Amino acid sequence: MAASAKPAALTAALARAAVDSVGDAILLVSAGGAVLHLNPPAEELFGRSREQSVGQPVRMLPGAESLGAVAERARRSQETQASYLPSPADRSLVISVEASPLFDGSSCVGSVLVLRPPRGGERTLDFEALAAGLAHEIKNPLAGLQGSAELLAREAEGSARDYAQVIAREARRVDGLVRELLDLARPAALHIAPVDIHQVLGDVRVLARGVPAAEGVTIVERFDPSLPHVSGDDEKLTQVILNLVRNALDALAGRPNPQLVIETAVATQRVRTASGRTRPLARVSVKDNGPGIHEAMLSRLFTPFATSKPNGTGLGLAISRRIIDAHGGRIEVRNRSGGGCEASLYLPLDLGGPAGPDLA
């Protein structure tokens, strides 16, 4: 019996035809953030032809301002990322976006984005889209209110001046909340580079000394001097670690012998990428000897507006997790067995490439 013929290799033309045959909108994005290909449903979704779009930055597609960040997150983490964004065709609709790394052999050369609108025209409510829209609507009238109150406070006298100052102060507080909502609603836009995490921690310590709750607190540093640079955005990492330190300082208020420990090390855990390789992580921990966190609150820590602080918004940790997720890392908070709390960040080490060496 004659041997069966060996199947022909998949050609580039056939691979493109396969992508074009899929009913969902598919967008291929290069490592540099440029459009490589749109299939016909994606052309319809964005209202742009393939010829108009290929080679252009993905952010230039109508309504695609956030897609570049989602694509970059998938490429850097080399793991599938899911998100929900307003539809480019109808901003009142929310579409699901599934971004996966695009491999050419062992090299990650970009991302594949699959965009799916609600089936049957059903309108869905998404917190992130709602938060972004609400924050934008509040921002302009709030600025007018704040400016008018500050002007009135300068010109008024007596109790009217006091009332105007209260209005201006509360308007500033609401403005801070609106900014946090915007930070939560939009994907973290990162400027990734090798980062000396100890330099970041030095900056955080200087900033933390200006926090009133830091008075009288002993800050101990336990750094691993051999720790390589991490792959990250130094400004965003400063924001996250400063938030963790402030939370610890708040927990130490009124405690006897308050102590805050900042510790770095190479993590014992590894993260496995989509290529099957493992990538080493750095661990950055912030520990305190405060009262710890109530067990019922631990499971809700990263939920927006969940907070045990009298004047807290519950957005700080939710934003922090979004930033760390965008780095391809993770954040954990737990109670320590000896009392107090420990918050730990796990960040990819920078080892000369997006995936690091093959450690598997």
- In-domain check, residue 100: yes
- In-domain check, residue 3: no
- In-domain check, residue 294: yes
Q: Please state at what angle helix 234-251 crosses helix 316-326, rounded to 10 degrees.
A: 150
- In-domain check, residue 8: no
| Same domain as 212, residue 337 | yes
Degrees (nearest 5) of the Cα angle 9, 11, 13? 160
Please state, for a pLDDT cut of 70, what percent of the chain lies above it: 80
Degrees (nearest 5) of the Cα angle 263, 207, 147? 140
- Output the pLDDT for position 345: 94
Residue whose C-alpha is closest to residue 81's, from 94, 62, 100, 96: 100
Residues 34-54: what's their mean pLDDT? 90
Instruction: Dump pLDDT digits (tens) for 28-41.
Output: 999 988 999 999 99
- Output the pLDDT for position 133: 65
1-5, 208-212, 231-235, 297-301, range with greatest mean pLDDT? 231-235
| Same domain as 217, residue 170 | no
- In-domain check, residue 113: yes
Domain with 111 in it? 13-121
Q: With a cut of 60, say whether residue 276 has pLDDT above it.
A: no
Residue whose C-alpha is closest to residue 33's, from 89, 63, 84, 73: 73
| Same domain as 153, residue 78 | no
Instruction: Dump pLDDT digits (tens) for 254-263.
Output: 889 999 999 9
- In-domain check, residue 135: yes
How many domains does the chain divide into? 3
| Same domain as 203, residue 145 | no
| Same domain as 139, residue 33 | no
Instruction: Dump pLDDT digits (tens) for 71-88.
Output: 888 888 888 887 777 778
Cα–Cα distances (Å) from 188 to 81, 100, 103, 348, in that order, read 13, 17, 24, 17
Whether 158 and 292 have beta carbons less than 8 Å apart is answered as no
Q: pTM of the entire structure?
A: 0.57
| Same domain as 320, residue 225 | yes
Which residue intervals of the chain are DSSP H helices? 12-21, 40-46, 50-53, 67-77, 127-155, 158-185, 197-208, 234-251, 295-298, 316-326
68-82, 244-258, 340-354, range with greatest mean pLDDT? 244-258
- In-domain check, residue 209: yes
Q: Which two tokens stand for residue 6?
A: 């060996």
| Same domain as 217, residue 238 | yes
Which residue intervals of 37-126 are DSSP H helices? 40-46, 50-53, 67-77
| 74-80-85-88 Cα dihedral, nearest 10 degrees | 70
Question: With bands split at pLDDT 50, 70 and 90, how would you rate the model's confidence at 183?
Answer: low
- In-domain check, residue 329: yes
At residue 72, φ and ψ (nearest 5 deg) are -65, -35
| Same domain as 198, residue 337 | yes
Instruction: Dump pLDDT digits (tens) for 62-73.
Output: 877 778 888 888
Q: Identify the weakest region by mean pLDDT among 10-14, 175-179, 261-265, 306-310.
A: 306-310
Question: With bands split at pLDDT 50, 70 and 90, how would you rate the model's confidence at 356?
Answer: very low
- How far apart CA 266 and CA 275 sit, in angstroms, is 22
| 195-196-201-207 Cα dihedral, nearest 10 degrees | -60
Q: With a cut of 90, say whether residue 127 has pLDDT above it.
A: no
- Output the pLDDT for position 279: 74
| Same domain as 169, residue 149 | yes
